[in-house]
Amino acid sequence: MSEEASERTPLLTESATVADTSPQAETSGETSNNNNNNNNASADDHYARFRRPFTILTPLSLFLSVLAFVTSAAAALLVAQFAPPGWYLDWDTLDENSYMVITTLFTTLFGFANLARLHRDIRLISLVFNCICDVIFMFYLFVCSVEILAYAASPRFPCRRAYDGGGNGVTCRPIARAVQALLIISSGSELLLTFVILALFLMRCVLLYNSRPWTAIQPRNGRWSVPTGVLTFEFSIKFLRQEERIDTDRREQRD
């Protein structure tokens, strides 16, 4: 009896250790879940706090995007189809206006998506994705709109002879003034759109910091650990009997 008790004692001790450690694992899991719930609650509170600025700036950005897209596309169409031979637009301005047509098209689509999500739910589209797009939009909008506005508002904008020397100022001035007005409106709205997107970008950065998505991975006891989960591995080992092994070797030798 004493030998059997001594053999079973380590097993009982090991099971007791497992039983003791399981409540600690449950406690740590509950703590991490509570922390995640608190972070989500605080993020929802901040979303609700910024809801009014978002409901004002998002439709404003959408309006400016549509206005900039329509005027930029109209200016490009007017130059391409109706410009007289005695007038031409600077090549850099043409390229920058083409960039603005594409950029304002994307800002319009993103504005519609954010506005629809804002009315359906308190949250917006992914904050990280929005912040990345905001940086790209602000760069193109600011650089191109400033250069287009400086060119369109300059006194040297009106008619000039084409490379072939044909045309006159009487026929080209109406087209030149129309294109000039469209470029001033488009570049001005694009510059205003840059500052609106900047305000939205700053608010999204605040929300991103308050939501803290990186807290899903936290240091515990000096070690980094990922959120709790279950990871299982399965493997099987097949043992052949001695008779089967002899038969298998004979078959291999015959082959």
Q: Cα Rg for the chain, rounded, in angstroms?
A: 34
**Residue range 96-152, pLDDT digits in tens:** 999 999 999 999 999 998 888 887 765 556 788 889 999 999 999 999 999 999 988
Instruction: Please indicate, yes or no, if residue 227 is contained in any of the structural domains.
Output: no
pLDDT for 170: 64
pLDDT for 255: 63
Instruction: Please indicate, yes or no, if residue 225 is contained in any of the structural domains.
Output: no
Total of domains in the chain: 1
pLDDT for 155: 72
Cβ distance 248 to 240 under 8 Å? yes
Instruction: Please indicate, yes or no, if residue 167 is contained in any of the structural domains.
Output: yes
AA identity, residue 106? F
User: Domain span at residue 127?
Assistant: 47-213
Give the DSSP letter string of the chain: -HHHHHHHHHHHHHHHHHHHHHHHHHHHHHHHHHHHHHHHHHHHHHHHHTHHHHHHHHHHHHHHHHHHHHHHHHHHHHHHHH--TT----HHHHHHHHHHHHHHHHHHHHHHHHHHHHHHSSS-S-HHHHHHHHHHHHHHHHHHHHHHHHHHTSTT-S----TT----HHHHHHHHHHHHHHHHHHHHHHHHHHHHHHHHHHHHHHHHHHH-GGGGSEEETTEEEPPP----------PPPHHHHHHHHHHHHH-
AA identity, residue 50? F
Q: Over its length of 255 residues, how does the chain's per-residue pLDDT go in tens digits?
A: 555 444 454 544 444 444 444 455 444 445 545 554 554 445 555 566 777 888 899 999 999 999 999 999 999 999 888 877 767 788 888 999 999 999 999 999 999 988 888 877 655 567 888 899 999 999 999 999 999 999 888 876 666 655 444 455 566 778 888 898 999 999 999 999 999 999 999 998 988 887 765 554 455 555 555 555 555 556 566 655 556 666 666 777 776
CA 3 to CA 205: how far, in whole Å? Answer: 68
Instruction: Please indicate, yes or no, if residue 252 is contained in any of the structural domains.
Output: no
pLDDT for 13: 47
Instruction: Please indicate, yes or no, if residue 245 is contained in any of the structural domains.
Output: no
Instruction: Please indicate, yes or no, if residue 238 is contained in any of the structural domains.
Output: no
CA 127 to CA 161: how far, in whole Å? Answer: 50
Residue 254 token pair: 């015959």
Instruction: Please indicate, yes or no, if residue 2 is contained in any of the structural domains.
Output: no
Instruction: Please indicate, yes or no, if residue 65 is contained in any of the structural domains.
Output: yes
Cβ distance 109 to 54 under 8 Å? no
